[in-house]
A = this chain, B = another copy of it.
Amino acid sequence: MTNAKRIYTFGNGKAQGNASMKALLGGKGANLAEMAGMGLPVPPGFTITTETCKTWHDAGNRMPPGLLDEVRKSVAEVEKALGRKFGGDKPLLVSVRSGAAASMPGMMDTVLNLGLNNETVVALANETVNARFAWDSFRRFITMYGDVVAGVDRKLMEHEYEAAKKRAGVTKDSDLSADHLKYAAGAMLALFRTRTGQDFPQDPWLQLERAIEAVFESWNNMRAVEYRRLNRIHGLLGTAVNVQAMVFGNLNEESGTGVGFTRDPSTGENEFFCDVLFNAQGEDVVAGLRTPEHLDALKQRMPEVHAQLLQARQTLEQHYRDMQDIEFTIQDRKLYLLQTRNGKRTARAALRIAISMVEEKLLTQQQALLKIDASSLNQLLHPMFDPKAARRVIATGIPASPGAAKGMAVFSPDAAEQWAARGQSVILVREETSPEDIKGMAAAAGILTARGGRTSHAAVVARQMGKTCVAGCQTLAIDETAQQFVVGKFTVKQGDTISLNGATGDVMLGDVPTVPPELSGDFRTIMKWSDELRTLGVRANADVPRDALKAREFGAQGIGLCRTEHMFFDSDRINKMREMILAKTLEQKQHALAKLLPMQRSDFLGLFSAMDGLPVTIRLLDPPLHEFLPHDAATQQVIAEELDVSLKTVQDTMANLHEMNPMLGLRGCRLGIEQPLIYDMQVQAIIEAMREATAQGIQVHAEIMIPLVGTLEELRWLRRRIEEQLTQFNLHHGSKLAPKIGTMIEVPRAALTADQIATEADFFSFGTNDLTQMTLGVSRDDAEKGFLIDYVVRGIFPTDPFATIDRQGVGKLVEMGVKLGRGVKPDLKVGICGEHGGDPESIEFCHEVGMDYVSCSPYRVPIARLAAAQAAIKHK
């Protein structure tokens, strides 16, 4: 690294770096270089690399030898380009900004006007014939430098400024004269001396050196470290430092500053979405003291700059082939671009922009699809608050985790758990949340806090859990003891219903109605393109015809997982299941199962009908039997009476079925082997439904899937039994029914011995939920309320392994399983069911390992279709 280039210059239509060098130059530096390289008007400057930052830290916060000489040489180039002198008569002023590869609040942000001192401020005043401007620039510099380099509280500096205004008897900044500002600057310099014990550095080179070091140091300050931790930003070297010649939007009325999106970020329409503020610097826009003007104002006042800006917009879009979020400054009717980056947008806008750019021939269909965040489609598919419904917004907080949640307000995690256990939807309202609240958060439909922002505990955990969250709603006065909050004239007590809009931060009184999503033409277009490109099939997990139809509507090509146990939990069936479990004799068991048979048959018939012509994978019973019996004595008594058995029988059966670790217990195919009558009944129901459906003219493609297989012998034994049953049935009915028989791969051993298991399987379906639990040794139910979230926040798990597949561990097993299975059976059909099947990153993994399909919940089918196309494009 010693010989690595440490400084990259840009400006004057050329640059040493470019947009691809974000890791080394940071996002801001790489884009400045790119713009300069394109010939766009960028004030000249240079970027010190992120590697240099690392070197500085590694050396115990010391400047690498020779770096300052290189800085001087680079400043000299800027001086030459502009014909100005750093610290000279026609003074060069610079901005110093941090800029890492990922956007990261908390680091030292910006020092503007660096290079001013008691002499250059006068030179600047003379040059610009604008003493007021020069002294205003100086006092701004002193404030920023004091704050971010020397640790003098910005408020103290501002206090001096306010004192100066008071002394001058004015209230508006613009009413201050040059002399007033000079006085204020003097007071600030004195304050600087008092607070730091040292004079304000007059040497511009010393100013620059210290500012650079302050940027380096800020990389490891607490806020930045915490931010990286909370946002799971790992693997960066450090921050780059951007040193750039100042341009002044506040020089005069021929100057100004602006920000804009090259297209509408809400709708994606091809309209320049841009605001301008004349005679102002960027920070004035942010401060929000003045209202920016529309682009038309610029067209009127400076038509040639307006034209330049439109040209720049076009050049940037042509170049980046994406919607840009830009910042610019106009100085003396000359346009300068200060920043560009890909703009954030809604899902709706993302689709529109992608499609327009294809129409405009800016992008190919493939490139366009890659620009869309597949997960964001979620926004389009879920119910939203009815835009036409009346609503009373009583407060607005920070939209911290999206969604539309409604429920009764509760003020403690215990209450949340208790009320939720009674089947009520609750919104947990807290001053702020802490790790002790996690179970309550898990039980709530949404979370509302009075304190904390997008990276607060509540926000991070809620996003993790997929819960709606509005955070930092400061207008709420929460009284946890009285179990109520007051906001304005409204008082919300425990049990009152409120609604939270996680996308806007709105808190609303009452139960605001929701409406189903409207899927636009753009959505259909993107899905069509995706389907043409993807090679991975997309199926859905659905247990009932209603879900199957919904999945089909969303484009599912079959059912990848029908969980038959869900059918047994229905209130009219669970007692028959219980009767079977409590039966003492074989005959009693058979009798109880015989009652379930016609119900299961009609379930399957419904599914086959809904999925006419498409494959339907039916998983035989998976959960342990104790899940069907109640745990509390009162319900046990009711059951005993209903089923005419003794309470003791119920309790003895429960005790007998009790397991220390049911996750690793008697369930899945183990139950199928130890109590074969249950699978017998299910297989019978499948076969009979196949026959009936076929008779009705339905095209049936049934696949029987055996869960929790860990050894070849389990699968062989069950397969033989099913085949015998099938042979008998076909013989008796003269039919030729031939459902496929396959297996879940969800026990690590099954993946490790997939070459054996494949010999008896027509297909594999990776159950990565359980595979993740066993491979990581993490019980999901327990861990999601406990250490799992902490592990994700700490970065021990880079992401939640139940949301995105753990490539290095679980992924390795999946890859082995696919390879071993296909090694003995090259055309083995392989898919995945479980939640990873709906996660774009995991879908890319599934594509890479050569799976045939993914299966996910109906609402994630569109996401999967797009993600599958993106994977196919990336790995062509």
A506 to B190 CA separation, bound complex (whole angstroms): 103
Chain B residues with CB under 8 A of A794: 673, 713, 717
Closest to A710 in B: B776
Q: Does A665 contact B (CB under 8 A)?
A: yes
B809 and A777: CB pair below 8 A?
A: no
**A662 CB → nearest B CB, Å:** 7
Chain B binder among A198-206, A726-734, A783-791: A783-791
Chain B residues with CB under 8 A of A532: none
A710 and B777: CB pair below 8 A?
A: yes
Q: Does A666 contact B (CB under 8 A)?
A: yes
Interface string of A646-671 (1 = CB under 8 A from B): 00000000000001111111100010
Q: Which among B717, B770, B776, B797 is the interface contact of A777 at CB below 8 angstroms?
A: B770
A748 and B777: CB pair below 8 A?
A: yes
Chain B residues with CB under 8 A of A791: 670
A664 and B775: CB pair below 8 A?
A: no
**A663 CB → nearest B CB, Å:** 4
Contacts A752-B808, A779-B661, A782-B664: A714 and B787 contacting too (C-beta < 8 A)? no
A795 and B713: CB pair below 8 A?
A: yes
Q: Does A708 contact B (CB under 8 A)?
A: yes
Closest to A714 in B: B796
**A95 CB → nearest B CB, Å:** 38
* Residue from the set A673, A770, A809 with the largest chain B CB neighbour count within 10 Å: A809
**A403 CB → nearest B CB, Å:** 26
Interface string of A796-834 (1 = CB under 8 A from B): 110000000010111011000000000000000000000
Chain B residues with CB under 8 A of A660: 662-663, 779, 781-782
B664 and A796: CB pair below 8 A?
A: no
Q: Which among B708, B749, B756, B786 is the interface contact of A810 at CB below 8 angstroms?
A: B749
Q: Does A381 contact B (CB under 8 A)?
A: no
Q: Which among B710, B776, B795, B796 is the interface contact of A747 at CB below 8 angstroms?
A: B776
B770 and A749: CB pair below 8 A?
A: no
B773 and A664: CB pair below 8 A?
A: yes
Q: Which chain A residues in 730-765 approach chain B with CB under 8 Å?
A: 746-749, 752-753, 756
Interface string of A692-721 (1 = CB under 8 A from B): 000000000000000010110110010000
Q: Does A849 contact B (CB under 8 A)?
A: no
A790 to B812 CA separation, bound complex (whole angstroms): 32
Chain B residues with CB under 8 A of A790: 674
Contacts A661-B664, A666-B786: A775 and B749 contacting too (C-beta < 8 A)? yes
Q: Does A125 contact B (CB under 8 A)?
A: no
Closest to A801 in B: B749
Q: Does A778 contact B (CB under 8 A)?
A: yes
A714 to B714 CA separation, bound complex (whole angstroms): 36
Q: Does A236 contact B (CB under 8 A)?
A: no
A188 to B666 CA separation, bound complex (whole angstroms): 55
Closest to A786 in B: B666
Q: Does A465 contact B (CB under 8 A)?
A: no
Q: Which chain A residues in 167-224 approach chain B with CB under 8 Å?
A: none
Q: Does A237 contact B (CB under 8 A)?
A: no
B796 and A777: CB pair below 8 A?
A: no
* Residue from the set A662, A713, A717, A756 with the largest chain B CB neighbour count within 10 Å: A713
Q: Does A774 contact B (CB under 8 A)?
A: yes
B710 and A809: CB pair below 8 A?
A: yes
Q: Which among B673, B748, B774, B808 is the interface contact of A796 at CB below 8 angstroms?
A: B673
A717 to B808 CA separation, bound complex (whole angstroms): 19
Contacts A673-B796, A714-B796, A787-B674: A664 and B778 contacting too (C-beta < 8 A)? yes
Interface string of A472-491 (1 = CB under 8 A from B): 00000000000000000000
Closest to A755 in B: B808
Contacts A673-B796, A713-B796, A787-B670: A664 and B779 contacting too (C-beta < 8 A)? yes
Chain B residues with CB under 8 A of A665: 779, 782-783, 786
**A820 CB → nearest B CB, Å:** 10
A710 to B810 CA separation, bound complex (whole angstroms): 11
Chain B residues with CB under 8 A of A756: 808
Since A747-B777, A748-B813, A749-B777 are in contact, a sample of 17 more A-B pairs with Cβ atoms closer than 8 Å, ordered by chain A residue number, is: A659-B779, A660-B662, A661-B661, A661-B663, A661-B779, A663-B663, A663-B779, A664-B779, A747-B776, A748-B777, A749-B776, A752-B775, A752-B812, A752-B813, A753-B812, A770-B777, A774-B775
The 4 lowest CB-CB distance pairs between A and B, nearest first, are: A749-B809, A661-B779, A664-B779, A747-B777
Task: Provide a sorted-by-A list of 28 A–B residue pairs whose CB atoms are within 8 angstroms.
Answer: A660-B662, A660-B781, A661-B664, A662-B779, A663-B779, A664-B664, A664-B778, A664-B779, A665-B779, A665-B783, A666-B787, A673-B787, A673-B794, A674-B786, A674-B787, A708-B777, A710-B809, A711-B809, A713-B794, A747-B775, A747-B776, A747-B777, A748-B748, A749-B775, A749-B806, A749-B809, A752-B809, A753-B809
